[in-house]
Amino acid sequence: MTLQKKLAILADAAKYDASCASSGGERRDSSNSKSALGSSGGSGICHSYAPDGRCISLLKILFTNACIYDCHYCINRRSSDTPRARFTVDEVVQLTLDFYKRNYIEGLFLSSGIIRNPDHTMEQVVAIVKKLRKEHEFRGYIHLKTIPEASQELIDEAGRYADRISINIELPTQQGLEKLAPEKNLRRTRQAMGGIRYRIEEDREIRREKSTKKPKPFAPAGQSTQMIIGADGANDSDILHRSNDLYRSYKLRRVYYSAYSPIPDSSPILPAKSPPLVREHRLYQADWLLRYYGFDVQEIAGAETPNLDLEIDPKLSWALRNRSHFPVDVNLAGKEELLRIPGLGVRSVQRILAMRRHKLLRLDDILKLRVSSKNCLPFLTTFDYHPSPSLLESEQLRQRFLPPPEQLELNFATPSATNETQSAALTGEF
């Protein structure tokens, strides 16, 4: 098989991993056109954010799409009849160097199916990054998906050469894993995540000691994971509880949510349709509330409302269910209360706190922050602005925030996240 053919198969097989993907965009393809150029749905090179905030392009491939496991939701599972391919260590090294030298990429995102056994696969993956770093002095960004069942020594070695390492948790519940990925072991995954956290913290400790000779940094961009949404029966509360637990237990940098997409010849125990893409988007917003806005999972998706409202963002949804907390006086409230006002993001709250050291804030001061006035005005007061109490009590208040009704499209395309919600997810300001 030619290298080009292998690349086509193994780059396409990697596209199901969302850890560095952007989603929600319109799919466009020019392969059937003589005059058009480019494709927004292709695979091979993806974009990710470096620790310093730069957006970088990565060669995103699998080492092999052959696998001895049979996870129902995966196109590469043992029982799938998808075309298989496998790179050699040298081929991945050469492809990365060639693409890098041509300025196509700034790094590598490498994952793999499991061949022979987890240790054997991990040895191949480690050999690639070791060769890149040691023989070729490759300084680009490397994100490695590691195999949780591989030995701790191999995972430790991977962390010495990669910038970020990640292990996919795959599904939020043990029941989901038992049903859809019976060969995966949640306990082993957690042990591996714990081992990575330990190494990262140990490494930071060593780096703080000025006198010692410092080893290579261990996964300086931290660890992350991915969860598939909508393949099992887990609700949003289950998903967010799992994420919260992972953030706390293993200090993950990110949990990526990947809406399940039906695969060819899929197992009959899987749903026939993907969940709406907006669900993935609402989970990212809720995840942001847990990490940066001081919310608990129970507040966002509790026993009474275990699934997120798909029509409005989770902070607005919480505010509408807890109207007695509002309106909040922006001149007097503490940071935690300000962060709960819909439409005010972390940066806006920081600016409010800074401004009010010097003056009493008026409505104009808030509007100058370019916040979403539609979302925040019913929920706050300023020196010169007090919303009518009847507005907050109104049964109709929720209607005000709903997106305008849309004409149904005849092709019934999968609904995607709106521009407004997509930009909120990028900035984290909502």
Contacts of 63-66 spanning 24+ positions with Cβ under 8 A: 63/10, 63/87, 63/92, 63/110, 63/111, 63/112, 63/113, 63/121, 63/124, 63/125, 63/128, 64/10, 64/112, 64/113, 64/115, 64/121, 65/9, 65/10, 65/13, 65/113, 66/113, 66/115
Options 74, 158, 361, 376; binder of ligand SF4; rule CB under 6 A: 74
Q: In whole angstroms, how close is the CB of 72 to ligand SF4 at the nearest point?
A: 9
Six-digit token pair at 232? 């099992």
**Strand 55-62 to 45-49 pairing:** antiparallel
Give the shortest CB-67-to-ligand SF4 separation in angstroms: 3
67 is a site residue for ligand SF4 (CB under 6 A): yes
Among 11, 63, 64, 77, binds ligand SF4 (CB under 6 A): 77
Contacting range for ligand SF4; rule: CB under 6 A; set: 70-78, 202-210, 211-219, 413-421: 70-78
Q: Of 14, 20, 61, 71, which lies in the binding site for ligand SF4, with binding defined by CB under 6 A? A: 71
To which residue do tokens 């990429």 refer?
105
Residue 95-124 contact track with ligand SF4, rule CB under 6 A, x = bound = ------------------xx----------
Asked if 254 touches ligand SF4 (CB under 6 A), the answer is no
Apex 58 CA angle, 26 and 288, nearest 5? 65
Q: Does 69 interact with ligand SF4 (rule: CB under 6 A)? A: yes
Region 195-224 residues binding ligand SF4, contact defined as CB under 6 A: none
Binders in 318-377 for ligand SF4, by CB under 6 A: none
Which one-letter amino acid corresponds to residue 219?
A: A
Site for ligand SF4 in 294-323 (CB under 6 A): none
| Distance separating alpha carbons of residues 425 and 430, to the nearest angstrom | 8
Tell me, rounded to whole angstroms, the distance of Cα 288 from its chain centroid: 11
Q: How many CB atoms lie within 10 A of CB 302?
A: 13
Shortest separation between residue 428's beta carbon and ligand SF4, angstroms? 29
Q: Does 172 bind ligand SF4 (CB under 6 A)?
A: no
Q: Is 61 in the site for ligand SF4 (CB under 6 A)?
A: no
Which residue, 75 or 425, has its beta carbon nearer to ligand SF4?
A: 75
CA distance 403 to 418: 9
Q: Which residues bind ligand SF4 (CB under 6 A)?
A: 67, 69, 71, 74, 76-77, 113-114, 181
